[in-house]
Structure 1
């Protein structure tokens, strides 16, 4: 059975990145608001990019344990469609922000072992979407965008009551295998379309989009 694979291109920092992502069929484009990231933007720069995104492509703000004032400043400046929480936000915080800002919330959860899966179930009760990412190493400066994959067998055949996104170390080269093994219908890529941390490449973006279209035509191994 064929399925469309929705792609979120995250960590875009330049107009060319946005246009390449849109050309590649992006369902979502992500802007990072986290100072430690090489992909971080200030609200003014993000606004300029967001205004170039055509209707039908969701604009996502990635934040990490942002306080209320920071979130207010971002949302006042940037026309956004979704919040992505990529830190240690609790389920209560997720629910609070969803109610306060009246935007859908995607919560990222790091996975390295079976013990990490329970958190996905908890956040799926309060978030609009969950992003299943590779858990960063303990000494990592970034909670995501590290180019690491996790053992996809851990989530093979698993489903949650909300839409979910597969992330972590995805590239045009391994996307088909990842989709077959997990049954993912949405995927997120950042470092996998870069030539250096924070430097997106239009050719890699287009190749990933093409790989996503091809992966949607291949039956997965989870019986879906």
Structure 2
């Protein structure tokens, strides 16, 4: 099962629950350019062995916007695979992003392969991001990893573009879009993917 969604509502709070049967695949791609408040609570529970879960999210928090993602993935059966990639850009000093992601690998979920990565880009000095990536591992025969990184646009990357005759604004736009491209490219529907990419380019120019 694949799901792709673009959210730009002025204010939204959503809750989604997904239960994955044995040998099933669930893929979620979420793009949120927000409104004043955007919160998504996501709960996924594995009901059988050999499941695959892939979660890819990209959020942009602008002036007076809050982007808030809480996700929980529970693995109870053997040989599950889960991949979570969360990327966020906070582009204004009054913007805020929250990521609270929990993956729990219970006792019988042996040979689980789980990975979680969250990366955030802060474009102004007072922009705020709160990260809480969390792996709870009870099984002993697993391959699990997680990581979190917060950075700003690197001057050497901008210089690289400018040294090749590309002006500063165009260089900035290209770097911001490429930061989220790994998520956009996972949208399974070509027409929707192109539409979303076009909208994101406009948002990031702001």
The TM-score with structure 1 as length reference comes to: 0.28
More relative contact order, 1 or 2 (CA 8 Å, 6+ apart) = 1
TM-score (norm 2): 0.30
Higher Cα Rg: structure 1 or 2? 2
More helix by share: 1
